[in-house]
Structure 1
Amino acid sequence: MAIGTDLPENCDRRSAPDPEFDGTAWVVQWVTVCPGGLAGGIVAIPGLDATQTDVLVRFELAADKSATQRLTPGLPSFVIPADPGFFEILRSYFALGVDHILEGLDHLLFVFALLLLIREKWKLVGAVTAFTIAHSITMAISTLGIVTLPGPPVEAVIALSIMFLASELLQRNNDEDRLTEKFPWIVSFSFGLLHGFGFAGALAEIGLPDDDVPLALLSFNLGVEAGQLLFIACILVTAALLKMFMPALIRAMRTPGHIGSTSVAYGIGGLSAFWFVERIAGF
C-alpha cells in the first residue's frame, strides 16, 4: 500500500501531488501556505500503519527553529509543538539513536566479531568501553563541524575494519594470544573513532534542532549506546542458552582452527568484503 502525506488543516494544499521518477527515486515536491503557522497542527502519514517502515519528519517553526519527529506504523501522526521541549528532543533523538544502531548491520557485526575474538570478561568490557568512548568523540566533533570526513570512504573503511577482525579470528591459536587479543581496547578504540564518523553521517542526514544541538547529540549518542548494550545482552543471553543446551556448538565457535569458528570467520569476512567492494564501487 502506498503512503501519503496529510498536513495541518490550515494549509491550503494538505496532500502531496503525484510523485515523479527522476531515474533514481520517486520524488514529490510542492509548496503550501499555512496561515497562522504550523504549531498545533497535525501531520499524518496515511497508509504508514499498514507498512513496516518509519518516516522522519523534519520541520521548521522559524528560520532558526528546526526539529525532527519520527513516525512509525504504531504512531503515524503527531501534533507539531509550538516549541519542542527538553523531553520531546530527548525522546525523539534517543529513539533515533537506538533505531540507527539496531539497523546498522555493519556496526553490529563489528561488535559481534569483538565478542567472538575476546574470551576474557574484563578485556571484553574494556574493548566495548573503548569503542563507545572513541565513536562518541568522533561523532561529536564531526557533528559540531570541527573535523569532518566524506561519507563513502568512511563507510568503505568501516567494512574494512570488520574484515580485519575476521582475519584476526581466522589467525588466532591456543598457544599465544595475538596482539588484538592482548590489547583489544587499542583496536576497538582505533576503529571506534572511524565508526563515529559513520554515526555522525547518519545524524547529519536526520538533522539537528538549531538551538538544541548538544541535547540532540547527547540523546542520539545515548540511544546508540542503549541499542549497542541491548544487542550485546541478546548475544550473551543467546550464548548462555546455547552453552546450556548445545555446548558443542559454543566450543566449536570458540575453538581456533575448528570448522565452526572458521566458518563463522569466513562468513563475517565474506559479508564485510562484499560491503567493501560495493561501497568502493559506489564512490
Structure 2
Amino acid sequence: MSILRQICLALALLFASMGSAQAHALEPGFLELRQIAPESFRVFWRKPDVNGAPMAIDAVLPETCTPTRGNDPQFDGAAWVSAWVAECPGGVSGGRLWIEGLESQRTDVLLSLQLLDASGTTHRLTPEATGYDIPEELSTWGVFTSYFQLGFSHILEGLDHLLFVFALLVLIRDPWRLLGAITAFTVAHSITLALASLGFLSVPGPPVEATIALSIVFLAVEILKREQGAERMSERYPWVVSFTFGLLHGLGFAGALNEIGLPEGDIPAALLAFNLGVEAGQVAFVAVILMALMFLRMALPRLREAARAPHSVTTNVMGYAIGCVATIWLAQRVAAF
C-alpha cells in the first residue's frame, strides 16, 4: 500500500500544481462603460493578475472615443485596474470595441454597458471573439446569455467543485441517493449564491476556499473508510452532507461572481443565468462521468465489481488521489490567509 500511496501522491502533486498555476490566469477580465452624459462614459477596466503583473491585454474603445485606452493600471490586491472618462461624440451605438491581446490568452472578458436611459447589456468576449459591435438597441437577452456562459465556464474551470461532485459519484452507489445528494448540493449552493451576490450574506473568501478543500478531504476519507455491509453516515444520508457543504460551495461561486459584479437593472436575470450556467456545467460533467463509467463497465465487467468493493485497489486509488489533491489545496489556501 505504501507504493500505491506514493504513486497517488505524485499524481496529486502534479494535478494540484497545475490547478494552482492556472487559477489566476483563468480569472476573467471586466470592462464597464457607464454613460454619465450624452457623450461621456466612465470606463472601468480590470485585468487579471498573472504572476504579479497585469495580463497582456488591453481594452480599446470605439475610435470615435477619446481616449480609446486608459492609463497604466494599478494593483488593487487582486487584479490590475484603471478608470477614466471617455468622450464619445454621438455615443457608442454602432461602434466597435475590442480587447487587444485576448486572442493569445486562456481567459474571457466580461463587458458591461450601461446607458443613461437605464438600458444596458452584458457581453462576453473570448479569445475566439475579441471584439463587440455595439448595437443600436440594447436588450436583457445579452445579459442572460453572457452570465449563463460565465456560470457554465466557471464550474468547468473550478477543479475543486468538480472534484467534490466526482467524490460524491465515487462514494454513493445507490442511484436514488446519488440523485438526492446532487439535488441537495444544487439547492444549497443556489441559496448561498443568491444571498451572497445580493449582499445579504458576507463571508471572507480565503476561509471559504479552504473549507471547500476540506469538504473534499472529508469525502475522500469517507471513500477510504467504507466497509461492506456497514454504511457510514455519509452513505445513509448523503443529502445532508451534500447540502451542508453545498452552502459553502455556493459562497465560492458567489466570490467569483462578485469579482465581476452584477449589472444594475438586470440583477435578477444575471443571477438566474449564472446559476443556470453553473447547473448546466455540473449536469454536463456528471453526464460525461456516468457515460465513461458505463463504457468501462461494458468493456471491463470485472473492473466494475472491483470498483464497488470497499478497500479494493480501484477504490483506494481514487480515494487517495482525491484526498491528496484536496489536502494540498487545503494547505495552500490556509497558508494564503
Same fold (TM over 0.5): yes
Q: Which residue of 168, 179, 182 maps to 2:233?
A: 179
Alignment partner, residue 322 of structure 2? 268
Alignment partner, residue 282 of structure 2? 228
Alignment partner, residue 50 of structure 2? none
Percent identity, aligned pairs only, is: 51
Where in structure 1 are there 5+ consecutive unaligned residues?
A: none
Map 1:232-247; keep pairs closer than 5 Å: 232-247=286-301
Contact (CA 8 Å) 2:151, 2:278: kept in 1 or not? yes
Contact (CA 8 Å) 2:112, 2:263: kept in 1 or not? no
1:258 aligns with 2:326: no
Query: Using a 3 Å threshold, how does the CA distance of structure 1 residues 87 and 157 change in structure 2: closer, same or farther?
Result: same
Alignment partner, residue 218 of structure 2? 164
Larger deviation: 159-168 or 40-49?
Answer: 40-49
Runs of 4 or more consecutive aligned structure 1 residues displaced over 6 Å after TM superposition: 23-26, 63-66
Map 1:63-212; keep pairs closer than 5 Å: 67-81=121-135, 84-212=138-266
Q: CA deviation at 1:280?
A: 0.9
Please give the alpha-carbon distance, in whole angstroms, between the structure 1 residues aligned to 2:189 and 2:255. 12
Alignment partner, residue 89 of structure 2? 35
Query: Using a 3 Å threshold, how does the CA distance of structure 1 residues 94 and 28 change in structure 2: closer, same or farther?
Result: closer
Alignment partner, residue 46 of structure 2? none
Aligned length in residues: 282
Please, what is the CA RMSD of the aligned residues?
A: 2.4
Query: Using a 3 Å threshold, how does the CA distance of structure 1 residues 185 and 210 change in structure 2: closer, same or farther?
Result: same
Please give the alpha-carbon distance, in whole angstroms, between the structure 1 residues aligned to 2:112 and 2:155. 20
Query: Using a 3 Å threshold, how does the CA distance of structure 1 residues 224 and 30 change in structure 2: closer, same or farther?
Result: closer
Larger deviation: 8-17 or 272-281?
Answer: 8-17
1:215 aligns with 2:269: yes
Please give the alpha-carbon distance, in whole angstroms, between the structure 2 residues aligned to 1:186 and 1:157. 17
Query: Using a 3 Å threshold, how does the CA distance of structure 1 residues 210 and 23 change in structure 2: closer, same or farther?
Result: closer
Q: CA deviation at 1:90?
A: 1.3
SS of the aligned residue for 1:188 comes to helix
TM-score by length of 1: 0.91
Query: Using a 3 Å threshold, how does the CA distance of structure 1 residues 115 and 26 change in structure 2: closer, same or farther?
Result: closer
TM-score by length of 2: 0.77
Query: Using a 3 Å threshold, how does the CA distance of structure 1 residues 98 and 22 change in structure 2: closer, same or farther?
Result: closer
Contact (CA 8 Å) 2:121, 2:142: kept in 1 or not? no
